[in-house]
Amino acid sequence: METTSLLPLLIIISSIIPGVLILLLREEQVALRTFLNLFGAVAKVSLIGWVFAGYLRGEEYTFSYNLALDLTFSLRVDQLGLFFAALSSVLWLVTTLYAIGYLEGGQHRRRFFAFFSLCVTASTGIALSGNVVTFFIFYEFLTLSTYPLVVHRGTDKAVKAGRTYLWYTIGGGTVLFLGVVGLYVVAGPIYFGQTEIIANLISVYPTQLTILFFLMLVGLGVKAAIFPLHGWLPVSMVAPAPVSALLHAVAVVKAGAFGIVRLVYDVYGIGIAEQMNFLSVLAVFAAFTIIYGSLRALYQDDFKKRLAFSTVSQLSYIALGVAIPGVLTSTGAIVHLVHQGIMKITMFFTAGNIAETYGYYKISQLNGIGRRMPLTMGAFTIAAFGMIGLPPIAGFISKWYLGLGAVEAGSYWVVLVLLASSALNAAYFLPIVYRAWFCEPEHEVVPQLRSGRLETQALLLIPVVVTGILSLAAGVFAAMAGSPLSIAREIAEKLYLL
Amino acid sequence: MTELPISPYPALLVGLPILMATLSLFFRTRGEALVGLIGALLTTGLAIMAFVEVVQRGAVIHILGGWEPPLGILLRMDPLAAVFIGMTALVGVFISLYAWRYFRALETTTGGLPLFWPLWLFLWAGLNGLFLSNDLFNLFVTIEVIGICAVALAVLSGKSTALSAGLRYLLAAITGSMAYLFGVALIYGSTGTLDLGLLGQVLEPGTTTTFALLVITLGLMIKMAGFPFHFWLPPAHSSALAPVSALLSALVVKGAFYILLRLWMEVFGVSLTYAAGQFIGIAGAIAVIWGSWQAFMQTSLKLIVAHSSVAQLGYLLMVFPLLILAPGVTADSADWLSSAWTAGIYQVISHAFAKASFFLSAGIIIMALGHDRIESLRDLVGHMRITAMAIGIAGVSLIGLPPSGGFMAKWMLLKGIFLSGQWWWAPVVLAGSLLTAGYVFMLLRLAFAPAREKEPFRPVPKSLEVFALLLALGSFLIVFPADSLIQFLESSEVFGTGVESILKGGVHGNN
């Protein structure tokens, strides 16, 4: 049954190699660098597709390397991991295209793309980790590979933001480290899915395992930006748009959210987590963060800051879905990993496009922008409606499942939280949509960047249109086999069968 | 003991560097450097061959001149010694290559500095001798050789700061040696033997043994700059020339740790109590916190790196309380011994690579800027990206973030701490990591920050940067063979053992 395969390792390596090679290139070697970037991105998507197909045929892919004593580096392919890996790799491909256009003529592009590749390596590593320690290794690697991206602009503001980012993530990493080592000592090396280990030990070491759960939750909560650990996220918005897009829609924040999913579903097991009341604590913090993030978003005039606080809020849907046991809420949580990713990346692309093309950074400057950038703003509008939860867009599906599941579980207060959040989402996204389409621009605008008859450069436009369409498609075709929803549903059903 | 296979390697490992060092004395600057570098390369090759020999045949011995102990000298190379010798060679060869280029670059300004190569090769011979020694007096001779060479190297630049720091270093070194020698005399007086293996069997617990243990430990603690005897290290290591700083911090202090570990585990088991382990652990814990904090407060790069050594050596001392078992705990039931040993060995190796790289990088920066005040590191990434990368990678290993050797050490240390139930050390490990992150990222933050004014970064030979980077990468690459390395070490008698501290007399136990 267990067969060793190099494929998971290849998936990881497919972005390390371009990353390292790019670092060795000279700054001027643009064509070669672009080729390496795209080659890596396409290779990764194809490999994941290949493995996914194999997995559906019932093949198993594992790779492990014993580091020392019982410390084992292990990569394993399971459905949840593949789901996250697929999300990361597809969005990486799109974002790579975007970044090539965005950074054209910028400084230190070699460094940027090298660390960009390493960052996605970490992200897919997190997805395919087979055990807790491997997850931790990639989780920390992600912190390190994203730091140079956050400070990329090299301004004092960027460097300061980098400092905040590090204090949060290194601090969180240290707490997680403590939790992971503790878990190793109490329960031995735990592979994801071996929930029976904790189930057997919980009556022997209830206090220790409780403490360890919360240590790990705090460590993961930093990246998942759960209140009060979210402070780094809005500050890190000084990073260039592609970084904000990928990091804050996929790589970093999702690493935290995905970690929470793993911790509850595949380490402790949902039964134990519920029985020990871990979930109710998580639910309270998640619900509070949902409302808090939205309230803060209301007051931001800076476009990216508003998006950042919206991310804080939206991410906690995942945590909330995890915290309410039930097939439907689990489905909602898992599918929101993807849905939030594609919708939020669309929004960050939009912010980047407007900033690049017209030099606008504030929402109050966006009057009439829709007529000048109809495709970009069209995509944004889809994503915004999705975030609010209007059918048939992706975000509606997530909220629908979360709401249904909450009712099924008898947690009616969750429905109230969802409704309140939707109202708040509308309150901070609709004004942007309204301004863009229905307000007259205050003064004549001159684009700083044009490319032929397109509203902006093609490499900036294509990604946002693609992710906009994906946001719509994920909702419209949700019922079809192979849609994010159907996969999420399968994963969730397997969880509760056991 | 004598039934171990006999091999020429132990003798060659000491003899070859001495020969080449002597040879280099006959040449002037360039010739000396060439002979010295060849000596370093040959010694490295020899060390690798010797390592392979031990991997294949297990522990080997050499009896000098055919005179059996107690009259003659017996050199013993077991897996633990082989690992230390291998580490010295790998780190040493990169420092040597760096030094070769570094002194060539200095020639234009100083007209060349003589004596680096003979001193370094004598020092290397001393280190190899130390790892191979099997009796207390030989150990004394090797630490004397090492001490004298190290002090001479430290003052090589002739600058007044280096001279005054060197004087303190000399004082500390002599005090340490004397304390050690006093202990050795006591042991010899009471047992009539100096052979480590024999002593482990015949040493009786008692006041004399305890007192000897105390002064020997004291002497070695001074030598390895263990808290509170660390005062001499930061000035001496920071004022020396870059390759010298790297040698002193990465290798020389580890020699004293090696003896301390061997003596505690192999010889003095009978007199060790649980409290003694805790006591050393506390010294280590304070060193971790204090050293890291001091490093954080410094404003010049080399002082940061030097204070960081005090902290990193503190982690080594924190291994001891895990190896000295509480009364009533048997070595068989102590399932954390392997973890603790792995932590110690990996801390030694990863610190050697990372710290050597760090000091070499500092040397590059001094060469480029003329000084090492950290505010001038602004925009280092733009000017010298390889050096910036070396600092980043070495720094990450010092913090202990994955997947570095430092991570392996911290993981195993924390695991040992929890398994042994001595949880009170855990906050120290974590606080130490956070403080280390504090000063490492303070440097990196500056390296990324925009330049305020045009600092003149003078061009620096690229090869210097590459050597520093390779050492930094080494501190990561050592993680990959960890499993084989530990299996190899487990074939050594001492690895994985702990001392059972039963009231009045103890026994060795194997795990």
User: Chain B interface, mutation test: which of A181, A212, A232, most B Cβ atoms within 10 Å?
Assistant: A181
Tens digit of each residue's pLDDT (9 = 90 or more) over A96-139: 888 888 887 777 888 888 888 898 899 999 999 999 999 999 99
| Rounded-to-integer distance, Cα B387 and Cα B9, Å | 37
B385 and A69 in contact by Cβ < 8 A?
Answer: no
Rounded-to-integer distance, Cα B61 and Cα B262, Å: 17
Inside any domain, residue B117: no
Q: Is residue B387 part of a domain?
A: yes
Here the ipTM equals 0.89
**Residue B429 resides in a domain:** yes
Interface contact flag, A178 B426, Cβ < 8 Å? yes
pLDDT, one tens digit per residue, over B206-220 is 889 999 999 999 999
Q: Which of B88, B80, B170, B161 is nearest to B124 (CA)?
A: B88
Q: A68 touching B, CB under 8 A?
A: yes
Amino acid at A401: Y
Its domain, for residue B466, covers: 298-511
Asked whether residue B194 is assigned to any structural domain, the reply reads no
Over range B382-411, report the average pLDDT.
91
Lowest mean pLDDT segment, chosen from A412-421, B67-76, B159-168, B354-363 = B67-76
Instruction: Specify whether the CB–CB gap between B22 and B41 falls below 8 A.
Output: no
| Whether pLDDT at B66 is above 80 | no
Domain tally, chain B: 1
Q: What is the pLDDT of residue A449?
A: 62
Q: How far apart are alpha carbons A39 and A95 in whole angstroms?
A: 14
% chain B with pLDDT above 90: 66
Q: Is residue B168 within 8 angstroms of chain A, CB to CB? A: no
Using a CB–CB cutoff of 8 Å, tell me whether B437 touches chain A. yes
Condensed to tens digits (0 to 9), the pLDDT of residues B137-196 reads: 999 999 999 999 999 999 988 888 899 999 999 999 999 999 999 999 999 999 988 888
Q: Which residues of chain A register pLDDT less than 70?
A: 1-3, 443-453, 498
A170–B418 CB contact, under 8 Å? no
A147 and B444 in contact by Cβ < 8 A? yes
Q: Say how far apart CA A225 and CA A232 lie, in whole Å.
A: 8
Question: Across the interface, do B483 and A68 touch by the CB < 8 Å criterion?
Answer: yes
| Angle ∠(A232,A238,A239) on CA atoms, nearest 5 | 95
Report DSSP state, residue B72: S
Residue B3: per-residue pLDDT: 74
* Nearest chain B alpha carbon to A138: B402
How close B202 gets to chain A, by Cα (Å)?
A: 34
Residue B504, pLDDT > 60, answer no
Indicate whether B259 belongs to any domain: no
Whether residue B451 lies within 8 A of chain A, CB to CB, comes out as: no
Any A CB within 8 A of B477 CB: no
Which residues on A lie below 8 Å from B414 (Cβ)?
Answer: 177-178, 181
List of chain B residues whose C-beta atoms are within 8 Å of the C-beta of residue A161? none
Å from B403 to nearest chain A CA? 6
How far does the CA of residue B170 sit from the closest CA of chain A (Å)? Answer: 39
The string of pLDDT tens digits covering residues B249-284 is 999 999 999 999 999 998 888 888 888 999 999 999
Q: Name which of B411, B443, B452, B483 to mutate to probe chain A: the one with the most chain A Cβ atoms within 10 A of its Cβ.
A: B411
Confidence class for position B455, pLDDT limits 50, 70, 90: low
C-alpha B379/C-alpha B365 separation (Å) is 12
A-B contacts at Cβ under 8 angstroms: 88
What digits encode the pLDDT tens for the residues B292-332?
A: 999 999 999 999 999 999 999 999 999 999 999 888 888 88
**Residue B507 — pLDDT band, cuts 50, 70, 90?**
very low
Per-residue pLDDT, B306: 94
Q: How far is B483 from chain A (nearest CA, A)?
A: 4
Interface membership of B430 toward A (CB under 8 Å): yes
User: Is the previous residue joined to B70 through a cis bond, with omega within 30 degrees of 0?
Assistant: yes
| pLDDT for position A2 | 53
B290 found inside a domain: no
Which tokens belong to A371?
A: 């007529």
Give tens-digit pLDDT for B464-500.
Answer: 999 999 999 999 999 999 989 999 998 888 888 888 8
* Mean pLDDT for all residues in chain B: 90
- Does the distance separating the beta carbons of B382 and A111 come in below 8 Å? no
Residues B253 and B132: their CA atoms lie apart, in Å, by: 16
What residues in A contact B377, CB-CB < 8 Å? none
Nearest chain B residue to A148, by CA: B448
Nearest-CA distance A191 → chain B (Å): 18
A69/B412 touch (CB, cutoff 8 Å), yes or no: yes
Q: Does B381 touch chain A (CB under 8 A)?
A: yes
**A-chain residues near B448 (CB < 8 A):** 148, 151, 154, 158-159, 162
Q: Which of A23, A71, A143 to mutate to test the interface with B (most CBs of B within 10 A)?
A: A71
Burial class (CB in 10 A: 0-12, 13-18, 19+), A50: middle
